[in-house]
Amino acid sequence: FFLSFLPPPLSFLSFFFLSFFLLSFLPSSSSLFSFFLLSFFLSSFFPSFLSRPGNRRLREGARFLPRGSGQTPPEQETPGIKLSKVAMAPEAGALGLLAAIVSFVAPSAAFLGAARGQFSAGGCTFEDGPGPCDYHQDPYDDFDWVHVSAQEPHYLPPEMPLGSYMIVDSSHHSHGEKARLQLPTMKENDTHCIDFSYLLYSKKGTSPGTLNILVRVNKGPLANPIWNVTGSTGKDWLRAELAVSTFWPNEYQVIFEAEVSDGRNGYIAIDDIQVLSYPCDKSPHFLRLGDVEVNAGQNATFQCIATGRDAVKNKLWLQRRNGEDIPVAQTKNINHRRFAATFKLQEVTKTDQDLYRCVTQSERGSGVSNFAQLIVREPPR
The pLDDT of residue 297 is above 90: yes
**CA nearest 139: which of 112, 179, 193, 191?**
179
CA distance 278 to 248: 16
CA distance 167 to 170: 9
For residue 156, what are the CA distances in angstroms to 46, 89, 150, 152, 253?
A: 70, 65, 12, 12, 30
Q: Which residue has the higher pLDDT, 63 or 101?
A: 101
CA distance 316 to 327: 7
Residues 373, 302 contacting (CB under 8 angstroms): no
The pLDDT of residue 374 is above 80: yes
The pLDDT of residue 61 is above 70: no
pLDDT over 90 percentage in the chain: 40
Q: Which residue has the higher pLDDT, 361 or 277?
A: 361
The pLDDT of residue 68 is above 60: no
- Structural domains in the chain? 131-276 (2.60.120.200), 285-377 (2.60.40.10)
- 73-77, 157-161, 266-270, 376-380: lowest mean pLDDT where? 73-77
Q: Which residue has the higher pLDDT, 318 or 109?
A: 318
Helices and strands counted in the chain (H then E): 6, 19
Beta-carbon count within 10 A of 70 CB: 6
Q: Give residues with Cβ within 8 angstroms of 315, minimum separation 6.
A: 359, 360, 361, 362
pLDDT (0 to 100) of residue 120: 56
Q: What angle do CA 237, 128, 278 make, to 5 degrees?
A: 60
Assign 379 a pLDDT band (cuts: 50, 70, 90): confident
pLDDT (0 to 100) of residue 236: 92
Q: Which residue has the higher pLDDT, 158 or 313?
A: 158
Residues 368, 359 contacting (CB under 8 angstroms): yes
Q: Give residues with Cβ within 8 angstroms of 324, minimum separation 6.
A: none
Q: Which residue has the higher pLDDT, 337 or 373?
A: 373
pLDDT (0 to 100) of residue 210: 95
pLDDT (0 to 100) of residue 40: 43
Assign 67 a pLDDT band (cuts: 50, 70, 90): very low
Assign 167 a pLDDT band (cuts: 50, 70, 90): very high
Across the chain, mean pLDDT equals 75
199-248 pLDDT per residue, tens: 999 888 888 999 999 999 998 888 899 999 998 888 899 999 999 988 88
Residues 132, 125 contacting (CB under 8 angstroms): no
pLDDT (0 to 100) of residue 9: 52
pLDDT (0 to 100) of residue 186: 86
- Whether cis (ω within 30° of 0) applies to the bond prior to 161 is no
3-state helix, strand, coil in the chain (%, to 5): 25, 30, 40
Interval 254-281 mean pLDDT: 90
Q: What angle do CA 288, 333, 304 make, to 5 degrees?
A: 25
111-121 pLDDT per residue, tens: 333 333 344 57
How is residue 124 annotated by DSSP?
A: B
pLDDT (0 to 100) of residue 7: 56
The pLDDT of residue 66 is above 60: no
SS (H, E, C) 307-359: ECCCCCCCEEEEEECCCCEEECCEEEECCCCEEEEEEEECCCCHHHCCEEEEE
In the chain, which ranges are E strands? Answer: 136-137, 146-148, 165-169, 178-182, 190-201, 209-217, 227-230, 238-246, 252-260, 267-276, 292-295, 300-307, 315-320, 325-327, 330-333, 338-345, 355-362, 365-368, 372-377
SS (H, E, C) 74-105: HHHHCHHHHHHHHHCCHHHHHHHHHHHHHHHH
